[in-house]
Chains A and B, each alone.
Chain A
Amino acid sequence: MKDKKELAKKLTKEMQQADQLSNLEEMLKNNVIEFELKGITYRVRQPTIKERQEVKREKNKKYLELLNDDSYLFQEHIIEKLEKKGKSIAKMVEAMNKLQEQIERLQLKLAEYGNAKEKDNKIITDLKLKIFELMEERNLISMKKAELLSGSIEDTLLEFETTYFAYLLLEKKEGDNWVRVFNKYDDFLQCQDNSLMSKCGNYLGLLLFSSGE
């Protein structure tokens, strides 16, 4: 009975993975990603040159707006203020670099085991675990650093750019045509549909910003 349960669990996991892979293959096929939500077909696509120019123009406007707003600071100034409050970004960077050095040292050791089989060499598993632990530690510091610097002018501009692209590039199918979901950038910001926002953000990220790695 236990075996059957485990088998079912294993099969479900494999099916989910296969599903994930076929979804990914679908996304890879083109530089446009289509998805369905509540019976509506949506897509996000690559921006045209004109759209990129529009984003650049709007970003510049936003930059000037932020420059005139005293409640926004450049990262550099936030770093100085943090130093005074006992939080050192430089030390965080140093810690990340040290961790990276340790990771690479262990990786070089791991590589020397070459074609040895992991099941016969516990040290391979131990080295891998240590590397993963260090990588997680490094990523955690990186996330903390990003959190401390969020709200800076640079960060706000990046967020503006992403959301402006999302407003321009999210389209829905109407008959044979694709039309923009939002008429104005403000309409996009007011949107209450969290699942649409989250899917749009994820897919747009894969098209324009992050690598999926």
Chain B
Amino acid sequence: MSNIREENPLRKLARSQKWQSLYHKAKEIASIHLFRNQEDFSKLQITFLSLLEEYASAYFDLLMGEDLISEEVIRDWIRLQSYFLYKSKHRKKLKLDKNVNNKQFTDRIVFRRRSKNREVNNYGK
């Protein structure tokens, strides 16, 4: 069994300044490629790409001044994973709250529309 208490070397590479800056440049400049092959990626490369994105998003949040993230959290894989889990649950909750609000808003509109229709009908008479 691999030691889950230690950070996977793939994560270490993905959060390194070298790979993060390469990743950003490759996104901006089409002629910069991360790998020699440009298709038919290996499983390892696919995982690495998703880790690069994960750390890019973590660094972005840090830059934006998010409360729950720090360099220390980014360097600690279990704390980072916990941060993303918290963020996703929180976002889901926000979405749910938003849906409830939207529903109330829609109900109100439906109610108002009905009353408007009645008025139109009244005018029609």
Contact = CB atoms under 8 A, between A and B. Distances in A.
Chain A, interface residues (CB within 8 Å), range: 35 or more
A7 interface: no
Interface in B73-104: 73, 76, 78-79, 81-83, 85-87, 89
Contacts, number: 106
A111 B44 contact: no
Interface centre among A24, A108, A117, A211 (most CB of B within 10 A): A211
Given A115-B73, A132-B78, A206-B44, A212 B36 contact: no
* Majority DSSP secondary structure for residues of B touching A: helix
A114 B74 CA distance: 11
B78 to A, nearest CB: 6
A12 B42 CA distance: 31
Interface in A76-121: 104, 107-108, 110-112, 114-115, 117-118
B6 to A, nearest CB: 10
A142 B73 CA distance: 28
Interface of B: 1, 4-5, 8-13, 35-37, 40-48, 51, 67-70, 72-73, 76, 78-79, 81-83, 85-87, 89
